[in-house]
Amino acid sequence: MSNSRKSALDEVLSREANHVDYGDRRVSEYFGENTFHLDKMRECLTEDAYKVVKSAIQLGTHVDRLHADQIATAMKDWAISKGATHYTHWFQPLTGSTAEKHDGFFKPIGPGKAIERFEGDLLVQQEPDASSFPNGGIRNTFEARGYTAWDPTSPAFVIGKTLCIPTVFIAYTGEALDYKMPLLKALHEVENAAKDVCQYFDKNVNSVGATLGWEQEYFLVDTALFNARPDLMMTGRAVFGHSPAKGQQLDDHYFGSIPERVTAFMRDFEYESHLLGIPVTTRHNEVAPNQFECAPMFEEVNIANDHNLLLMDVMEKTAAKHNFRVLLHEKPFAGINGSGKHNNWSMATDTGVNLLQPGKNPKSNMQFLTFFVNTIMAIHDNADLLRASIASAGNDHRLGANEAPPAIISVFIGSQLTKMLDDLEESILAGKMTPEAKTELKLNIGKIPQILLDNTDRNRTSPFAFTGNKFEFRAVGSTANCAQAMTVLNTIMANQLVEFKKNVDARIAGGDKKDEAILRELQKLITASKKIRFEGNGYGQEWVEEAAKRGLSNLKDTPRALDVYSRKEVKELFNKLGILSPVELEARHEIELENYILKIQIEARVLGDIAKNHIMPAAIEYQNILISNAQGLVDVLGEKEGREAARTQINFIKSISKHVNVMNDTVNLMIADRKKANAMEDTREKAYAYCDDVKSKFDDIRYHADKLEIMVDDELWPLPKLRELLFTK
Ligand code: ADP
Ligand code: MG
């Protein structure tokens, strides 16, 4: 074993896990302790200011300057009592992570004197140096500066010594430069549209909120081993590495017991999460070795998403204390399951009804059916857009790669609901419905709750599955900001619900009774959306063929998926609902392409460097040992007998040369293609070139490197192997 690899392993073995003492406090005592939530505000604010902020949170009203000052002062005092010395506007630029710029609370007021200061204008608006964040050309075309603006719906929080204030990030000309702004707009639209549709069933519904419960998958790798792998450090994934003898075939990791050191890490990061009000509840092993998952109780989408971003951050910080590195990449290890972030999504009314949960009587079930069928229709009409919303270089390894959801978008609803929809479709006949037909229909609809008790009907291969009381969008990548998928899902749903309401109202105006109008409209949607429903195995080749016959898209890589953003109907949809203007959408398309190019470019460089600087020298060194051994045998035994005795060595020598040569030639071809791609002006063309010409060579290079790995003396191999990364406890 090479020295650096050996010392990395020794370091792991000689260490003990850190333990943190939480005292004996219960979660309920400290949950949300580090957040400035509404109840906290009630304690700290005047009656007036509290009313203003509450209305801003619940109704989206404006906070005037005077009250903003009061809120800022209360927030500052609270934060200082928690040990904060600085504050920052916390926002979600299009780089994919979160950003912050810290400023101190103190303000010098004379020689040797300072006060702690934080006023309303600092709370409400800030001007970060926007030029260092991606803007897809918006800033060249429009105005150079951008600002962050307070999102009062998401509570401020203290991490370490900093007060973090969730904000949106906007150009001075009004264009969104972040993920939060369009999400908030999409939520506003879907919530209004859903509320209007709810009026058919219950006039008491005053508001609807969309809900999100994400499930975060990740790998843990020991820090020392991680640091000995330049590819993990630079790209988050192992670009080389032969599959370990034991992978996940035995399925013994899933729901197996969690190793002690990992448990200590989990306890710690759950504690940190709970302080921040992130309702993390479940934790378990995943299918692959060293892969885990955590999930919170679901929340309102915007808050849930902020919490997910925060959690990823907390996880990384906490892992460092336990000498772990968190791998959030969608596919850190070839041949081993990748990581996703299932987005469980539904909508709930202020009367406490989950709109995707069948109710207790035919009326509430009609409501359920309405939202259920409209969701399917929305996915049917916008499957490609949904696919675009989850496109990333990392997720390309996962989608369609025979283990994760396929790149083909379809909806799974289970055999019983399928039958239900089929029955409905048939029984709602043209012309006036007879009273008997209506009664039978209502009876049928009334049966739904019993149907859903059957939980055996699950399909893990579907990208978009109904799971009893919510839809689960499973194709979202583990590193993703859920806002991308959630903006699209809620936008297409808003559009669909508005359309539905318009059509039902038209039928009612034409003389149909309300129930009949709704049923007929649903029937129309059931028929029109049929081809998006798929109950079979989403991983099979048959589905690829069947989907093609049905006319469903199979957008296999990021550049092709992102092309959807430039479609006319997509631009119109976002524009019509006021979520993204055509300029903003074009900018996003451009930024995503740039992100893709950068990721592949870095991977290509790392791949080339490791192949030439680590793997080739190790292979040649071993080859030299073989050569002197073979030479020695010939010297001692004579040409004929010596060659016979060195038969294996000679084959290895030849084999090493072959793999080294082909690997090196392919790396050189890849570098040439990279140079060609780099010279391209057009971003889209460049992304295509990176995908089709550069990335397409990765597997070939890896094949030869991985062959060398199992040939070369383990003592000489320079990189920690996958079995060490995956099985070191
Ligand atoms: P699974 O069998 O997929 O693990 P769970 O019931 O445990 O299903 O839920 C998984 C996730 O779905 C959790 O994060 C949970 O909070 C979330 N979830 C449950 N109900 C809803 C809902 N109505 N809206 C959004 N997410 C939900
Ligand atoms: Mg799930």
**Average pLDDT of the residues in 527-554:** 94
Ligand 1 in reach of 478 Cβ (< 6 A): no
Ligand 1 in reach of 503 Cβ (< 6 A): no
User: What's residue 1's pLDDT?
Assistant: 67
Q: What is the pLDDT of residues 589-610, one digit of tens each?
A: 999 999 999 999 999 999 999 9
Q: Which residues surround ligand 2, an ion (CB under 5 A)?
A: 342
In the reported structure, the alpha carbon of residue 77 is separated from the centroid of ligand 2 by a whole-number distance in angstroms of 41
> Rounded CA gap, 312 and 328, in Å?
8
**Cβ 288 vs Cβ 333: under 8 Å:** yes
User: What's residue 16's pLDDT?
Assistant: 45
Ligand 1 in reach of 211 Cβ (< 6 A): yes
Q: Whose CA is nearest to atom 1 of ligand 1?
A: 467
Say which residue the tokens 């509430």 belong to. Answer: 364
> Over 50: is that where the pLDDT of 142 sits?
no
User: What's residue 695's pLDDT?
Assistant: 97
Give the model's confidence band at 22: pLDDT under 50 very low, under 70 low, under 90 confident, else very high. Answer: low
Tokens of 414: 């289970």
Q: What is the pLDDT of residues 188-236, one digit of tens each?
A: 999 999 999 999 999 999 999 999 999 999 999 999 999 999 999 999 9
**Average pLDDT of the residues in 361-376:** 91
Q: In one letter, which amino acid is 343?
A: N
CATH class of segment(s) 187-580: alpha beta
User: What's residue 552's pLDDT?
Assistant: 97
Which of 187, 294, 298 has most ligand 1 atoms within 8 Å of its beta carbon, as the pocket-test mutant?
298
**Average pLDDT of the residues in 72-93:** 93
User: What's residue 145's pLDDT?
Assistant: 67
Residue 212 CA, closest ligand 1 atom number: 25
Q: Which fold has domain 31-178?
A: Ubiquitin-like (UB roll) (3.10.20)
The two beta strands, 280-285 and 299-300, are: unpaired
Ligand 1 in reach of 298 Cβ (< 6 A): yes
Q: Which fold has domain 595-726?
A: Four Helix Bundle (Hemerythrin (Met), subunit A) (1.20.120)
Which of 344, 349, 490 has most ligand 1 atoms within 8 Å of its beta carbon, as the pocket-test mutant?
344
Q: What is the pLDDT of residues 251-292, one digit of tens each?
A: 555 545 667 888 899 999 999 999 999 999 877 777 678 899
Give the model's confidence band at 701: pLDDT under 50 very low, under 70 low, under 90 confident, else very high. Answer: very high
Ligand 1 in reach of 216 Cβ (< 6 A): no
> Rounded CA gap, 585 and 564, in Å?
11
Burial class (CB in 10 A: 0-12, 13-18, 19+), 100: middle
User: What's residue 108's pLDDT?
Assistant: 79
Ligand 1 in reach of 344 Cβ (< 6 A): yes
Domains 31-178 and 187-580 in one fold? no
In the reported structure, the alpha carbon of residue 497 is separated from the centroid of ligand 1 by a whole-number distance in angstroms of 23
**Average pLDDT of the residues in 638-662:** 97
Residue 356 CA, closest ligand 1 atom number: 23
Instruction: Looking at the CA of 405, name the nearest ligand.
Output: 2
Q: Which of 263-277, 435-449, 686-700 shows the lowest mean pLDDT across its residues?
A: 435-449
Burial class (CB in 10 A: 0-12, 13-18, 19+), 539: middle
- % of the chain surpassing 90 pLDDT: 71
Q: Whose CA is nearest to atom 8 of ligand 1?
A: 467
User: What's residue 244's pLDDT?
Assistant: 83
Q: What is the pLDDT of residues 292-314, one digit of tens each?
A: 999 999 999 999 999 999 999 99
Tell me the β-bridge partners of 326: 220
Q: Whose CA is nearest to atom 17 of ligand 1?
A: 213
Q: Is the dihedral of CA 279, 281, 282, 283 positive or negative?
A: positive
Coil, helix or strand for 258?
coil
Ligand 1 in reach of 346 Cβ (< 6 A): yes
Residue 354 CA, closest ligand 1 atom number: 23
Tell me the β-bridge partners of 214: 343
Give the model's confidence band at 420: pLDDT under 50 very low, under 70 low, under 90 confident, else very high. Answer: confident
Q: Where are the domains of the chain?
A: 31-178, 187-580, 595-726
Q: Tell whether pTM > 0.85.
A: yes
Residue 114 or 23, more confident: 114
In the reported structure, the alpha carbon of residue 297 is separated from the centroid of ligand 2 by a whole-number distance in angstroms of 12
Give the model's confidence band at 12: pLDDT under 50 very low, under 70 low, under 90 confident, else very high. Answer: low
The dihedrals phi and psi of 63, each to the nearest 5 degrees, come to -100, 115
User: What's residue 540's pLDDT?
Assistant: 86
Q: Whose CA is nearest to atom 6 of ligand 1?
A: 467
Ligand 1 in reach of 300 Cβ (< 6 A): no
* Number of Cα atoms under 13 Å in the Cβ half of residue 515: 15
Long-range contacts of 373-376 (CB under 8 A, 24+ apart): 373/421, 373/522, 373/525, 373/526, 373/529, 374/197, 374/493, 374/496, 374/497, 374/500, 374/525, 375/471, 375/493, 375/496, 376/411, 376/413, 376/525, 376/526, 376/529, 376/532, 376/533
Residue 469 CA, closest ligand 1 atom number: 23
Ligand 1 in reach of 469 Cβ (< 6 A): yes
Ligand 1 in reach of 487 Cβ (< 6 A): no
Residues 6+ apart with CB under 8 A from 728: 9, 12, 222, 225
**Cβ 677 vs Cβ 690: under 8 Å:** yes
Give the model's confidence band at 19: pLDDT under 50 very low, under 70 low, under 90 confident, else very high. Answer: very low
User: What's residue 477's pLDDT?
Assistant: 96
Give the model's confidence band at 503: pLDDT under 50 very low, under 70 low, under 90 confident, else very high. Answer: very high
Ligand 1 in reach of 213 Cβ (< 6 A): yes
> Rounded CA gap, 468 and 346, in Å?
11
**Average pLDDT of the residues in 320-341:** 94
Give the model's confidence band at 95: pLDDT under 50 very low, under 70 low, under 90 confident, else very high. Answer: confident
**Cβ 268 vs Cβ 280: under 8 Å:** no
In the reported structure, the alpha carbon of residue 253 is separated from the centroid of ligand 2 by a whole-number distance in angstroms of 17
- % of the chain surpassing 70 pLDDT: 91
> Rounded CA gap, 490 and 476, in Å?
15
In the reported structure, the alpha carbon of residue 11 is separated from the centroid of ligand 1 by a whole-number distance in angstroms of 40
In the reported structure, the alpha carbon of residue 460 is separated from the centroid of ligand 2 by a whole-number distance in angstroms of 9
**Average pLDDT of the residues in 28-53:** 93
